[in-house]
Structure 1
């Protein structure tokens, strides 16, 4: 007998509207039931009628027990693998108050600066930390991983070198043999479609007369050795060759940073600044460069500006969503950043300060020095005389076998390569652990440890020991007690609007519930403390989860196979197109290089296409926002011999299920191309239709959208790709893992399974919803969007709908008609802050519009609250239209209104304080205040400050 506890269905916790609310919403829609709504929304010829082959839903309690059992199949070994990933100690105050706090992990990307001052400050701290430690003038607000950061540097300098080239491009990059092998793999992947030649070798033997645009060096290198590159960099500079350093950020607390001897860019990972290894991620990579390249640096930069009252304010500078503007001319396709992890890493530096960071680095180096001295006394042969935290032992096959056997018996992991054993010490290692390690090596040689080698001796050359100060800004010197740190974190959190406050109604961004039961397992040591290159017998729990998630995602998309390696949506686009390019090449049609892309597509689509070596041909959309099928047919015919792919978003970026999608796919296939489907809007498809069902060939999935990984202020994200049988052989492989297809393209991410630890969130989402819950979620996402449409369409113009007048999971409201009132979409976005809401997506995909996506997680009362706010704003627009409100001085033009304004002694505005701050009654119970008034973006770009400035510097810039 099985007793089912009906009150413990996760779907009931995840889906917002109650059964009672459902009936009220259906009445508003003037429709009999939810089935009828779905029938009127999704074309019948693409509907799937068979239930998903997904396991039955678990309760939250059952799932947490299940995931704990799965974690116990992993083995937490004593890791000395290193190679860019290290054990680290996450300060509890950061773990509890940021990593495990929905006030931080449910924030959206800080495009609306007025309600994002907290995370913007935290990211500015991160940039300042990176800039200080690398010795560079400028740093961005985090990238995905070290491999892709190095690839971004390569791309940036290739573009700069050849910007005005009239002859053959300078297309060779020299990569030193000391660079991490997995970084080289990612670099090779990126280089091939760009026709960049990667030349490997020893930097000491590099021919400076050859035609190179850049050199990539590891510092310290993969063997642990610290090389003196100062003269070499000077020679590179004289030759006009850019120098890129992949540097261990923590080592730069003790060794001379590359910025101090002329490096052009320094890249790397901040993982060891308090962020767990997590089997490969998520971690924040960094990118630092010279001031000269501030207009070229990829990713996001946080800059200082001012608000309307001339108060200090922060915002995203320069590259904000640049690919949506530049499209195929964009310098990068980066969209997701690892913002949450960058915030953690920056806070690690805030908490420890210069003295603390230096002490951690010194302790690591002293323990490494102790181990090295002991090994030398025992007769072991080390490869280098200088190092920070990693030593390499030369060894015969016989010695290698003995060490492996002894290490395996003790559950100790080293890195083995080419007759070498590499050992990396991190901050989690104690004196006793290092002594035990040395004793093991003594036992292997039947020797004795003669004495205690712990001393003040340094294996960092005197000439390369750091003398300059870092982390000198007051922010890194005020919060070293837990009380002060806790209050500082909370003070920043209080400045930011997140899902703990209200619905975030962003179209195409799917800000749904990130359930606690999905998030809890990410912090479990059995998942958090696993090295990405750990032996396979130690990762059985992870691999079981990964294979099951791959299977479920393949089922949901209607495809044959899945790769979880891409660690962002844009990375998934790039990876999907690479598999298409590999397919054509395998079939002797490498010349196929045309990508057809609708004019409505996400900006990352054309940017990703260019990165894979494709040429973009834009396909028109008709007046209803659908792909112009005649134009598509003409262009497919015109480019038939060279057509590689169509990139299509479905439902469309306009929030509509286009009824001719199968015809569109057939046109592309008939002309020799394949169809890539952008999965950004998958939340409207799951269980009702699928990319495979509409005859696409590959799609990427934004796990941070449809599958509930939180946005974390702009990341982490995951962008796995699912493919059909044609493309299955070409799924990305990895140098250190048995993954990918039998004709795999090279790695697209540094770790085999991308940001593996957050896969637990999507795995939990699917396992707790089950097949029925997944379908319910899709149906309610469509219901909620159509309910908002029904409530607003009499007062606002809804631009695009399906053939039967329905929206998909999102809708677009046109506010261009109010330009005559001097009101823009931005004015409405800022006024929504006064009502306690984040703005919808602003002016995308159509200028002067608001794109709204409520998701299935929002209850009817929250939807009503948002609709009430929008309807009240319409009344405010009417007041301007009738002359009751001043055209240039009104609640919209002055929004948002801060608490400082409302409590000031003077009030000279032509409306009441109450109208400004409390236009609807619900605000009296729960009011979110913007911490600054409207931010001046242009001022910030003209006076670019991207590190934490003292107020004096800000005042000087203003003057």
Structure 2
């Protein structure tokens, strides 16, 4: 009986021969009519055999175990897990968008092209850049698009010596990976004692080999590069391009335009800043913008407006080519477009200001228990760390596990790498003060437990269906599939 009622079993483990949820009619022809004998399976596939009721209960139980924004607060630093308006979901499900064939003639998809064109124009307006491509399917794909755009730019100038990309240690981890995938040598520079780019280290690293300097702004410790104008000047004097990782743009939207402080290329995450579902909630979108001198090298086609008609402009002789089949994740673009149309310059500014206010409220409220590693006014996120001498052997991972018992999703931990025992908190602007206070209170309770019952925290979580795994064994002997 207990085995039957277990909810942690895989669907294949609940399978019973002969059970089914739907009966399929006998096919008029078999696969042998279409495929050569060598491609036909010799044995039936091993698929779960469940009734419809079994299936519904199985996936409902799984969904109840899932943490989601509709049920809990995600203090997930560096990922902007903020509210996704349900109205946008309705828009993205309209048949006039979902039923469009990707090979339909332009005359039949003028509405979709108009939306994409207007989104490009809005992104240009809020960033101060000259052109945008909507092709990239996610942030890291946007980074690769940006790097390949830079590569095409230098190749057109016959500047073959530019083989290096400089990446500070406060950049997102995808930045050095992207540069390497683009065929560049990655040059890492350490931050200064204030958590920002060390200008002397940057100047020393810059050379005729430098193709791009990739900055995350604000950076991964939640700080704005206050010397960004001087940094941009150094980069441009060296003949290199300044790339901005715009994944943290939620802190700047409506407040600053990257084009104004010298950014040549940047990507944005529509699935972060622009309130489209993120992670398991849906696909991503990472549009890439470029300044006028780099724009001709962006992927083609771009959506253009000519003589009252919207068209996909493919006549771009210097373009790096396509980065994705067809034209981006339109459903995510549509959500981002709706978000931008819902707001004006003032409300976008309010969004950034409230995101910054929320992060600093958490930072100051937890200062005596979990101080910020860089104790100054931050932007959209604060990076805290437990002081070892006060924690009785309790570590960041223990705190994250214990937060689950209090009903909160765990924040980003142990990142950025330059902060020991890092706890990255990003409240966003969509969480109200009551929720922030509840989170702060939970963190305070965990701190007190570390003083009085440290073992309680070390053995957390206590309320979840799955307890702690043996992390060493999981890493060395991963169980990746059912046998």
TM-score (norm 1): 0.46
Could you list the runs of 4 or more consecutive aligned residues of structure 1 that deviate by over 4 angstroms after TM superposition? 350-353, 734-737, 739-742
Please say if 1:809 is aligned against 2:384.
no
- Find the counterpart in structure 1 of residue 360 from structure 2: 786
Is this contact kept in 2: 1:655–1:800, CA < 8 A?
no
- Find the counterpart in structure 2 of residue 375 from structure 1: none
Classify 1:352/1:628 alpha carbon distance in 2 versus 1 (closer, same or farther; 3 Å): farther
- Find the counterpart in structure 2 of residue 610 from structure 1: 180
Is this contact kept in 2: 1:650–1:657, CA < 8 A?
yes
CA deviations 1:195-227 (Å, max 9, x no partner) are: xxxxxxxxxxxxxxxxxxxxxxxxxxxxxxxxx
- Find the counterpart in structure 2 of residue 517 from structure 1: 87
State how 1:96-245 maps to structure 2 within 5 Å.
Answer: none
- Find the counterpart in structure 1 of residue 436 from structure 2: 863
Classify 1:586/1:774 alpha carbon distance in 2 versus 1 (closer, same or farther; 3 Å): same
Report which stretch shifted further, 727-736 or 825-834. 727-736
Please say if 1:685 is aligned against 2:255.
no
Cα distance in 2 for residues equivalent to 1:714 and 1:599: 30
- Find the counterpart in structure 2 of residue 498 from structure 1: 68
2:139 pairs, out of 549, 552, 569, with 569
Cα distance in 1 for residues equivalent to 2:127 and 2:268: 9
State how 1:891-910 maps to structure 2 within 5 Å.
Answer: 891-898=456-463
Higher RCO (C-alpha 8 Å, min separation 6): 1
Cα distance in 1 for residues equivalent to 2:79 and 2:314: 30
2:153 pairs, out of 583, 598, 601, with 583
Is this contact kept in 2: 1:841–1:851, CA < 8 A?
yes
Cα distance in 1 for residues equivalent to 2:480 and 2:428: 35
CA deviations 1:57-98 (Å, max 9, x no partner) are: xxxxxxxxxxxxxxxxxxxxxxxxxxxxxxxxxxxxxxxxxx
CA deviations 1:865-888 (Å, max 9, x no partner) are: 000111111111222xxxxx3x5x
Is this contact kept in 2: 1:718–1:755, CA < 8 A?
yes
State how 1:84-99 maps to structure 2 within 5 Å.
Answer: none
Compute the displacement of 1:459 (Å).
2.8
Compute the displacement of 1:741 (Å).
4.2
Is this contact kept in 2: 1:732–1:739, CA < 8 A?
no
Cα distance in 2 for residues equivalent to 1:492 and 1:562: 39
- Find the counterpart in structure 1 of residue 306 from structure 2: none
CA deviations 1:601-651 (Å, max 9, x no partner) are: 111101100111111111110122111111101111xxx211101000001
Compute the displacement of 1:579 (Å).
0.7
- Find the counterpart in structure 1 of residue 40 from structure 2: 465
Is this contact kept in 2: 1:732–1:740, CA < 8 A?
no
Is this contact kept in 1: 2:391–2:447, CA < 8 A?
no
State how 1:588-607 maps to structure 2 within 5 Å.
Answer: 588-607=158-177
Runs of 5+ unmatched residues, structure 1: 1-117, 129-311, 313-349, 367-387, 389-456, 880-884, 899-929, 950-959
Compute the displacement of 1:742 (Å).
4.3
Classify 1:506/1:351 alpha carbon distance in 2 versus 1 (closer, same or farther; 3 Å): farther
Report which stretch shifted further, 597-606 or 764-773. 764-773
Please say if 1:768 is aligned against 2:339.
no
Is this contact kept in 2: 1:662–1:694, CA < 8 A?
yes
Compute the displacement of 1:820 (Å).
6.5
Cα distance in 2 for residues equivalent to 1:466 and 1:779: 59
Cα distance in 2 for residues equivalent to 1:493 and 1:351: 22
CA deviations 1:315-360 (Å, max 9, x no partner) are: xxxxxxxxxxxxxxxxxxxxxxxxxxxxxxxxxxx9979x86xx79
State how 1:919-958 maps to structure 2 within 5 Å.
Answer: 930-949=464-483
Classify 1:590/1:816 alpha carbon distance in 2 versus 1 (closer, same or farther; 3 Å): farther
Cα distance in 2 for residues equivalent to 1:606 and 1:576: 13
State how 1:415-426 maps to structure 2 within 5 Å.
Answer: none
- Find the counterpart in structure 1 of residue 198 from structure 2: 628
Please say if 1:642 is aligned against 2:209.
yes
Please say if 1:821 is aligned against 2:392.
yes
Partner-residue secondary structure (3-state), 1:493 = helix
2:324 pairs, out of 738, 749, 752, with 749
Is this contact kept in 2: 1:698–1:723, CA < 8 A?
yes
Compute the displacement of 1:662 (Å).
1.0
Is this contact kept in 2: 1:730–1:740, CA < 8 A?
no
Classify 1:556/1:836 alpha carbon distance in 2 versus 1 (closer, same or farther; 3 Å): same
Partner-residue secondary structure (3-state), 2:456 = coil
Is this contact kept in 2: 1:729–1:740, CA < 8 A?
no
TM-score (norm 2): 0.90
Compute the displacement of 1:713 (Å).
2.1
- Find the counterpart in structure 2 of residue 445 from structure 1: none
Compute the displacement of 1:715 (Å).
4.7
Compute the displacement of 1:943 (Å).
3.4
Compute the displacement of 1:717 (Å).
1.0
Compute the displacement of 1:589 (Å).
0.5
Classify 1:712/1:653 alpha carbon distance in 2 versus 1 (closer, same or farther; 3 Å): closer
Please say if 1:708 is aligned against 2:275.
yes
Classify 1:680/1:693 alpha carbon distance in 2 versus 1 (closer, same or farther; 3 Å): same
Cα distance in 1 for residues equivalent to 2:75 and 2:411: 5
Compute the displacement of 1:854 (Å).
0.2
Partner-residue secondary structure (3-state), 2:313 = coil
Cα distance in 2 for residues equivalent to 1:496 and 1:351: 26
Classify 1:531/1:878 alpha carbon distance in 2 versus 1 (closer, same or farther; 3 Å): same
Please say if 1:853 is aligned against 2:423.
no
Cα distance in 1 for residues equivalent to 2:361 and 2:380: 10
Is this contact kept in 2: 1:809–1:855, CA < 8 A?
yes
- Find the counterpart in structure 2 of residue 549 from structure 1: 119
- Find the counterpart in structure 2 of residue 837 from structure 1: 408
Partner-residue secondary structure (3-state), 1:692 = helix
Cα distance in 2 for residues equivalent to 1:897 and 1:832: 10
- Find the counterpart in structure 2 of residue 694 from structure 1: 261
Is this contact kept in 2: 1:351–1:485, CA < 8 A?
no
Cα distance in 2 for residues equivalent to 1:515 and 1:763: 12
Compute the displacement of 1:534 (Å).
1.7
